[in-house]
């Protein structure tokens, strides 16, 4: 689904060149739930922005769902992003002027779906996140957890091949965070491929595996302890 090979990302100024990612390789299979962890400044967000085609990379290769994304122009990247990727941001990033339905509708508009299809998809997405009663509410009228559910619904509505979540519970209290994580796990069980950036080890253990980044490089690929325990019980 997502394959990065010897990928690098450098930020250059006149006097200095800083690598946010260096010789970065990572492979995420279809249906996997991968947690990307690391300390602040390690390159997690840069990885996510490159994975989400929000930013270009300096070197290496990146294949998304079998397509090489190197050299794609803005139109092609936007189209690919719209069709294949669903984003879940830490700060939810809902558009304040639009109600829940219209927020979920945004990526579908750019996809070119007709009104009936958009209506069907928004309602289905709202049902999946358990918020059909809030469809006419505006973001400011919702709790943080509900806003994140709307953001997840927006990410799901286009039936993306890959969900990218950037600290999805970072702005939520414990109870709300648990609810959102439960929802992500449920989506994963339904077959979604999820890559979640987090600095919280407790969240990381809920993924299939954890990728740890330090100084722009993958230093550790591990199966979270909870999964190991579960595997031991099974065997």
Q: Which residues from 149-178 bind other proteins, rule CB under 8 A?
A: 154, 158, 166-167, 170
How many residues in the shown chain lie near other proteins by CB under 8 A?
A: 33
Packing angle, helices 144-157 and 174-189, rounded to 10? 20
Q: Which of 64, 87, 148, 168 binds other proteins (CB under 8 A)?
A: 87
Binding track, positions 29-48, relative to other proteins; x by CB under 8 A: ----------------x--x
Quick one: 11 or 189, whose CB is closer to other proteins? Answer: 11
**Regarding beta strands 209-214 and 33-37, do their DSSP bridges make them parallel or antiparallel, or are they unpaired?**
parallel
- Distance from C-alpha of 14 to C-alpha of 49, rounded to nearest angstrom: 24
C-alpha–C-alpha distance, residues 131 and 115, integer Å: 21
For residues 57 and 50, the answer to whether their CB atoms sit within 8 Å is: yes
118 binds other proteins (CB under 8 A): no
Does position 83 interact with other proteins (CB under 8 A)? The reply is yes
* Near other proteins by CB under 8 A: residue from 10, 106, 205, 214: 106
Nearest to 151 by CA among 90, 108, 207: 90
Cα-Cα end-to-end distance for the chain: 28
Q: Choose one: 50-58, 142-150, 182-190, 212-220; the region binding other proteins (CB under 8 A).
A: 50-58
Which tokens hold the place of 70? 């190197």
The answer to whether the beta carbons of residues 220 and 42 sit under 8 Å apart is no
Task: Tell which one of 38, 107, 168, 224 touches other proteins (CB under 8 A).
Answer: 107
58 is a contact residue toward other proteins (CB under 8 A): no
From CA 50, how far away is CA 201, in angstroms rounded? 23
Per CB under 8 A, 109 contacts other proteins: yes
Residues that bind other proteins (CB under 8 A): 45, 48-49, 52, 54-55, 74-75, 78-79, 81-83, 87, 89-91, 93-98, 106-107, 109-111, 154, 158, 166-167, 170
């Amino acid at each position: 689904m997502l394959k990065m090979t010897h990928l690098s990302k450098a930020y250059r100024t006149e006097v200095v060149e800083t690598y946010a990612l260096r010789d970065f390789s990572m492979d995420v299979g279809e249906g996997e739930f991968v947690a990307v962890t690391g300390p602040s400044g390690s390159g997690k967000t840069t990885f996510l922005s490159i994975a989400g085609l929000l930013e270009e990379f300096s070197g290496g290769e990146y294949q998304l769902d079998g397509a090489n994304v190197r050299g794609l122009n803005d139109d092609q990247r936007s189209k690919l992003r719209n069709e294949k990727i669903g984003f879940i941001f830490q700060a939810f990033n809902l558009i304040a002027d639009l109600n829940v339905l219209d927020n979920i509708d945004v990526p579908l508009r750019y996809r070119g779906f007709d009104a009936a299809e958009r209506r069907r998809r928004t309602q289905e997405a709202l049902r999946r996140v358990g918020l059909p009663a809030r469809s006419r509410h505006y973001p400011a009228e919702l709790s943080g957890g509900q806003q994140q559910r709307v953001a997840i619904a927006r990410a799901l509505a286009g039936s993306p091949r890959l969900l990218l979540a950037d600290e999805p519970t970072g702005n939520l209290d414990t109870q709300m965070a648990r609810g959102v994580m439960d929802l992500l796990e449920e989506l994963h069980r339904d077959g979604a491929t999820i890559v979640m950036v987090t600095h919280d080890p407790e969240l990381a253990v809920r993924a299939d595996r954890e990728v740890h980044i330090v100084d722009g490089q993958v230093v550790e690929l591990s199966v979270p302890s909870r999964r190991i325990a579960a595997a031991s019980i099974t065997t």
